[in-house]
Amino acid sequence: MKVDIVTIFPEIAAGPLGVSIIGRAVEAGQVAIRCVDLRDYTTDRHRHVDDMPYGGGPGMVMKPEPFFAAVADLRTEGAKVILMTPQGKPFRQARAVELAKESHLIFLCGHYEGVDHRVVEALVDEELSIGDYVLTNGTIAAAVVVDAVVRLLPGVLGDDQSAEVESFSGDGRRLEAPHYTRPAEYAGMAVPEVLLSGNHGAIAKWRESQALERTRRNRPDLLCDAKAKSISDDWIPDEAFA
Ligand code: ADE
């Protein structure tokens, strides 16, 4: 997979994507990530990327020309162009799974009040938001999406870090159960007895009920979503929807 992140702050994305699992995936050639400076596509002496909004209002708007020049330069056949913006569709695990099947992703990162809408109309396949809050710019958001997508590429996670059994994978309706490791007792807190029992049936049951309890406490919306979608599955007891 090829990934281009077009931004006025390439170093923001390069940092987190250059280390750990994603950094190793880059080194191994499983993904090629380029953090591209939008200002390299300006033509004026001061390398301006923004201007005042038509119609007035606070803040600056990012000019269309550098984005058009960048995409014209970077685009390959079948590339998907994604604008990171709080106005985008919510990014979820299911989307990460789909994006991991693409061959080339180009992320456009906004800053200031937003991006000239002609960029959205003519260049962008998809607008994505990573959550209902406003960041100073879309570069951190792009790094989040790239991390979530690249870790799903074949061979990027080792067998012991499988992406299969984790929150939001599969049906996306429940969080993971709590995890423990040694020591069995720490600061007066004991690991739940059942996890030491070797009884795999009992452990699976315990994990299921803990996952449900955690979901109910932290993300009741997931359970409501499931009900709203009328997904018929018998593992969620009716009282979960009370
Ligand atoms: N840019 C600023 N805030 C953002 C968000 N929540 N998601 C994506 N891009 C953004």
Q: How are beta strands 126-129 and 80-90 bridged, if at all?
A: parallel
56 belongs to a structural domain: yes
- pLDDT at residue 234, rounded to an integer: 47
Question: Strand, coil or helix: what is 85?
Answer: strand
Q: Which ligand 1 atom is at minimum distance from the Cα of 132?
A: 6
156 belongs to a structural domain: no
> Which residues in the chain show pLDDT less than 70?
159-165, 167, 169-172, 226-242
- To test the ligand 1 pocket, which listed residue (107, 126, 133, 145) has its Cβ within 8 A of the most ligand atoms? 133
Are 2 and 8 in contact, with CB atoms under 8 Å apart? no
Q: What is the CATH number of the domain that holds 174?
A: 1.10.1270.20
Q: What digits encode the pLDDT tens for the residues 137-149? A: 999 999 999 999 9
Q: Radius of gyration (Cα) for the chain, nearest Å?
A: 22
Q: Is 3 in the pocket of ligand 1 (CB under 6 A)?
A: no
159 belongs to a structural domain: no
Q: Is 127 in the pocket of ligand 1 (CB under 6 A)?
A: no
> Does residue 131 share a domain with residue 181?
no
- pLDDT at residue 232, rounded to an integer: 45
| Residue located nearest, by CA, to atom 9 of ligand 1 | 85
- pLDDT at residue 229, rounded to an integer: 61
> Does residue 33 share a domain with residue 109?
yes
Helices (H), the chain: 10-17, 20-27, 64-74, 93-99, 117-123, 138-150, 200-218, 220-228
> Does residue 120 share a domain with residue 194?
no
User: In angstroms, what is the span from residue 138 Cα to ligand 1's centroid?
Assistant: 5
79 belongs to a structural domain: yes
224 belongs to a structural domain: yes
> Does residue 208 share a domain with residue 142?
no
The domain of 126 spans 2-150
- pLDDT at residue 2, rounded to an integer: 98
Q: How far apart are CA 196 and CA 192, in angstroms?
A: 7
- pLDDT at residue 55, rounded to an integer: 97
Q: Which ligand 1 atom is at minimum distance from the Cα of 134?
A: 3
Amino acid at position 229, single letter = K
> Does residue 146 share a domain with residue 79?
yes
Q: Is the pTM of this model over 0.75?
A: yes
Q: What is the CATH number of the domain that holds 88?
A: 3.40.1280.10
User: In angstroms, what is the span from residue 51 Cα to ligand 1's centroid?
Assistant: 20
> Does residue 223 share a domain with residue 117?
no
Q: Is 139 in the pocket of ligand 1 (CB under 6 A)?
A: no
- pLDDT at residue 111, rounded to an integer: 87
Q: Is 135 in the pocket of ligand 1 (CB under 6 A)?
A: yes
Q: How many residues does the structure list for the chain?
A: 242
> Does residue 93 share a domain with residue 199?
no
Q: Which ligand 1 atom is at minimum distance from the Cα of 131?
A: 6
Question: Strand, coil or helix: what is 172?
Answer: coil
- Where is 123: in which H helix or E strand? helix 117-123
Domain final residue, candidates 119, 150, 181: 150
> Residue by residue, what is the 3-state secondary structure of 40-79?
HHCCCCCCCCEECCCCCCCCCEECHHHHHHHHHHHCCCCC
Q: What digits encode the pLDDT tens for the residues 171-203? A: 668 999 999 999 999 999 999 999 999 999 999
Residues 6 or more apart from 125 whose CB is under 8 A from it?
Answer: 80, 81, 82
> Does residue 105 share a domain with residue 15?
yes
> Does residue 104 share a domain with residue 179?
no
Counted domains in the chain: 2
